[in-house]
Amino acid sequence: MPPIEVDDLTKDYGSVLANDAISFTVENGEIFGYLGPNGAGKSTTIRMLLGLLQPTAGTATVLGADSADEAAMIEAKQRIGYLPATLGFDEEVTGEEVLAYHGSIKGDTRLSDLLDIFSPPIDRPIREYSSGNKRMLGVIQAFMHDPDLVIMDEPTAGLDPLKQAEFNEFVNEERAKGTTVFFSSHVLSEVRQICDRVGIIRSGKLVELEDMKTLLGQGGKRVRIHTTDKAIERITALDGVREVNQFPAGVQFLYTGEYNALLRELAKHDVRDVDLSEPPLEEVFIHYYGDTVTGEDHRETHSNV
C-alpha cells in the first residue's frame, strides 16, 4: 500500500474552500514536493494527512491508517515524522530537553547522526535560537525515530543558503535509505533539486501532478539580455521563448528551447550582458496561476460551496 493516498480530500472552512477534491498518491521511497503559493491550501492538506484537521469530504490514508481514525493514527504516527509550519517549542527548555522528551515517546535511534549533520546549539534554551536553528531542531525531531514517512510543512523557510544546501543533501541521502518524504514549499528551486515528483496546488485545487523531468522541461530558465532592438527581435523569435518583457536596451524572457540555438543566435549580435537564472515559481507556472501572479493566492472567498 502506498504510504500516502489522498482521495477527493476536501476542506471547506465556510468562508474558503481550502482543499477542493484533491486526489494523489505518494509511492514508497518517493520524495514528493507539494508546491503552491501562500494560501493555496498546502498546510490544510498536511494537517488533514496527520489527522489534526477533519476533512469536510474525502479521505486521506497514511501508512495504511485512515487519518480520521484517531486510534489508527496514534499507531501510525510512531512511524511518521512531522515538521509543522509553525514550531511550538516551549521557549524555556533547551534543545536537548526537547529532543529527550520526543525520544522518550517515539525513539531516538538516529539522533546522534542527525546532530552531527545539523548541529543546533542543543544546550541553549529555545528562546535563544534563531529561526533557522529552530527549524533544524524540528527537522531532527522529525527524523530522529527513523520513521518510514516524513511530512514537512515548508521545511526550509528561514534557512540560510548553506543550511538549505545541507538540508537538500540530507533529503537526497534519505532517498537512498528509502524513506518516503512529503513536503510543502512555494520555492520551485528547492523542489527542483530534491523531489522525484511534484503536486501543484492553486486555490485549493491540485492543478498538476508531474515527475521532475517533465517539470524541468516546462520550467526552463529566465534569460535577461542587454542588446540592440534588432537583436531582441531575432532572439525572441526563437522556439521556446515565452513571457517576453522588453525594457530599455534589453529584454527578459523564459526560455525552454535548446541552449545551443540560443547561444548561436546571441553570437550573431552585439550583446552587452547576459544573465541566466532560475525563474520564480510564479513565472514558470504562469499558465497554472493565471495572470494575477504575485506569489499570493488571491482567490475570491465564497460561502458554503
Ligand X SMILES: Nc1ncnc2c1ncn2[C@@H]1O[C@H](COP(=O)(O)OP(=O)(O)OP(=O)(O)O)[C@@H](O)[C@H]1O
Q: How far is the CB of 198 from ligand X (least distance, A)?
A: 14
Judged by beta carbon, residue 36 or residue 81, the one nearer ligand X is 36
How many residues bind to ligand X according to rule CB under 6 A? 14
Residue 85 makes contact with ligand X by CB under 6 A: yes
According to CB under 6 A, which one of 6, 42, 135, 138 is a site residue for ligand X? 42
Judged by beta carbon, residue 43 or residue 227, the one nearer ligand X is 43
Residue 55 makes contact with ligand X by CB under 6 A: no
Q: How far is the CB of 176 from ligand X (least distance, A)?
A: 29
Residue 131 makes contact with ligand X by CB under 6 A: no
Residue 220 makes contact with ligand X by CB under 6 A: no
Judged by beta carbon, residue 15 or residue 28, the one nearer ligand X is 15
258 φ, ψ (degrees, to nearest 5) = -75, 135
Residue 274 makes contact with ligand X by CB under 6 A: no
Q: How far is the CB of 150 from ligand X (least distance, A)?
A: 17
Q: How far is the CB of 275 from ligand X (least distance, A)?
A: 28
Site string for ligand X, 168-207 (x = CB under 6 A): ------------------x---------------------
Q: How far is the CB of 58 from ligand X (least distance, A)?
A: 15
Site string for ligand X, 21-40 (x = CB under 6 A): ---------------x-xxx
State the SS3 of the chain. CCCEEEEEEEEECCCCEEEEEEEEEECCCCEEEEECCECCCHHHHHHHHCCCCCCCEEEEEECCEECCCHHHHHHHHHHEEEECCCCCCCCCCEHHHHHHHHHHHHCCCCHHHHHHHHCCCCCCEHHHCCHHHHHHHHHHHHHCCCCCEEEEECCCCCCCHHHHHHHHHHHHHHHHHCCEEEEEECCHHHHHHHCCEEEEEECCEEEEEEEHHHHHHHHCEEEEEECCHHHHHHHCCCCCEEEEEEECCEEEEEECCCHHHHHHHHHCCCCCEEEEECCCHHHHCHHHHCCCCCCECCCCCCCCC
Judged by beta carbon, residue 77 or residue 202, the one nearer ligand X is 202
Q: How far is the CB of 184 from ligand X (least distance, A)?
A: 6
According to CB under 6 A, which one of 10, 44, 141, 156 is a site residue for ligand X? 44
**Nearest Cα residue to 95 out of 157, 132, 141:** 141
Counting Cβ atoms within 10 Å, is residue 210 exposed (0-12), middle (13-18) or buried (19+)? middle
Residue 135 makes contact with ligand X by CB under 6 A: no
Note the residues at the interface with ligand X (CB under 6 A): 13, 15-16, 18, 36, 38-44, 85, 186
